[in-house]
Amino acid sequence: MVSRVMRFGGVHRRSFIGILLMGLAMFILTAMDAAVKWIINDYSIQQVNLVRSIVAMIVLFPTIQAGGGFNLLQTKRPLIHLWRAILMVTISYVWFFALGHMMLADLGAIVMIAPIIITALSPFVLKEKVGWRRWVAVITGFLGMIIVVRPGSGVFNPVALMAICVAFGYALLILSNRTNHAKESLVSLVYYPLIGIFFVSAFLSPVDWVQPDGLAWSIMIFIGVCAGGGHLCLTLASRYASPPVLAPFEYTGLIWAILLGYFLFQELPTVFTFLGISLILIAGIFIVYTESQGKTDLKESLPS
């Protein structure tokens, strides 16, 4: 009995804190998306991105100080950071545009295929073995995405293709984290993309700058705080719990997307959206489960 209490007070308590931080991060980042959707049709993407990047870097600055100062930004792989910055700039601009033209729930469902894309790319990028069961999960997840976007139907939104590109870009970014985390500091992996967004947005913003009013400034600053705070919560969550424990709770972002979309924008997801989300959830959680069990291709090569 005592050992169980000690275990709960140690490992289980840390995992619980990690789960709470992951849930908080998903809420914060979804709230950021909702704020962007609220304002993006009145102000340019580069203007919103400029304020967001500045505020986010300020919010994340304490992590640099706590981790050892600006030495954490030193790197011997500048081209990797340049590539990641270009990728992140592209993702942020395309994503913000999509937020202005699609429902939050649909976008949330599409971007949640990123972990499934990672599984599909792992054999080629990470040289990891992926067995037949996980390939079935990958196909199931993509089927769910197709149901959400419904190509060929009268309600298909071409912007959905942009959201799919964002999901692929996000997957590549995560794969880049996995291949470089041992060689580069976590701070540098997060900070350099923000610096890239800042410089590109600072260059483009004067083209069509619209002077924000007080409410707009508040929303833009809120977006930046959410960007920095959300990533900070994600970082802290990874220190308290392992990826297999945290991964299923990333999907709580879908719940917040549905709720915020409904209450803020009167967006009511269709039956097809819920069906697609269900398939994506099942596929994603199954992949997390099989990876946490440490299954290999040898075990998965033949149906039992």
Is 151 a residue whose pLDDT tops 80?
Answer: no
DSSP letter (8 states) at residue 40: T
What CA dihedral angle connects 247, 250, 255 and 256, to 10 degrees? 160
For residue 299, the model assigns a pLDDT of: 41
For residue 91, the model assigns a pLDDT of: 96
Tokens 């099942």: give the residue: 282
pLDDT tens column, 131-148: 888 899 999 999 999 898
With bands split at pLDDT 50, 70 and 90, how would you rate the model's confidence at 155?
Answer: low
For residue 294, the model assigns a pLDDT of: 60
Cβ-Cβ contacts under 8 Å for 20 (sequence gap 6 or more): none
CB 114 within 8 A of CB 173: no
Q: How much is the average pLDDT of 225-243?
A: 86
With bands split at pLDDT 50, 70 and 90, how would you rate the model's confidence at 119?
Answer: confident
For residue 303, the model assigns a pLDDT of: 36
Q: How many domains does the chain have?
A: 1
For residue 30, the model assigns a pLDDT of: 97
Alpha-carbon gap, residue 237 to 86, rounded angstroms: 26
For residue 108, the model assigns a pLDDT of: 92
For residue 44, the model assigns a pLDDT of: 95
Alpha-carbon gap, residue 168 to 160, rounded angstroms: 13
pTM over 0.95: no
Q: Quote the Cα angle for 83-250-155, to 5°.
A: 85
Alpha-carbon gap, residue 302 to 79, rounded angstroms: 42
* 71 vs 124 pLDDT, higher one: 124
Alpha-carbon gap, residue 129 to 134, rounded angstroms: 10
Residues 95-108 as b or e (16 or more Cβ within 10 Å = b): bbbbbebbbbbbbb
Phi and psi torsions of 86, nearest 5°: -60, -45
pLDDT tens column, 50-87: 999 999 999 988 877 776 667 777 887 889 899 999 99
Q: How many CA atoms lie within 13 A of 121 on its CB side?
A: 19
Q: How much is the average pLDDT of 4-24?
A: 73
Is 154 a residue whose pLDDT tops 70?
Answer: no
Is 5 a residue whose pLDDT tops 70?
Answer: no
For residue 301, the model assigns a pLDDT of: 36
* 2 vs 229 pLDDT, higher one: 229
Q: What is the mean pLDDT of the chain?
A: 85
- Measured between alpha carbons, how far apart are the two ends of the chain, in Å? 38
Is 158 a residue whose pLDDT tops 70?
Answer: yes
Is 221 a residue whose pLDDT tops 90?
Answer: yes
Query: What percent of the chain is modeled with pLDDT above 90?
Result: 50
Q: Which two tokens stand for residue 74?
A: 């030193």
Angstrom CA distances, 286 to 148, 167, 186, stand at 20, 19, 28
For residue 182, the model assigns a pLDDT of: 66
pLDDT tens column, 180-207: 766 777 778 888 999 999 999 999 999 8
* 256 vs 122 pLDDT, higher one: 256
Alpha-carbon gap, residue 277 to 275, rounded angstroms: 5
Find the helix packing angle between 159-180 and 78-99, rounded to 10°.
150
For residue 205, the model assigns a pLDDT of: 94
Is 176 a residue whose pLDDT tops 80?
Answer: yes
List the domain range (segments joined by +) for residue 111: 2-300
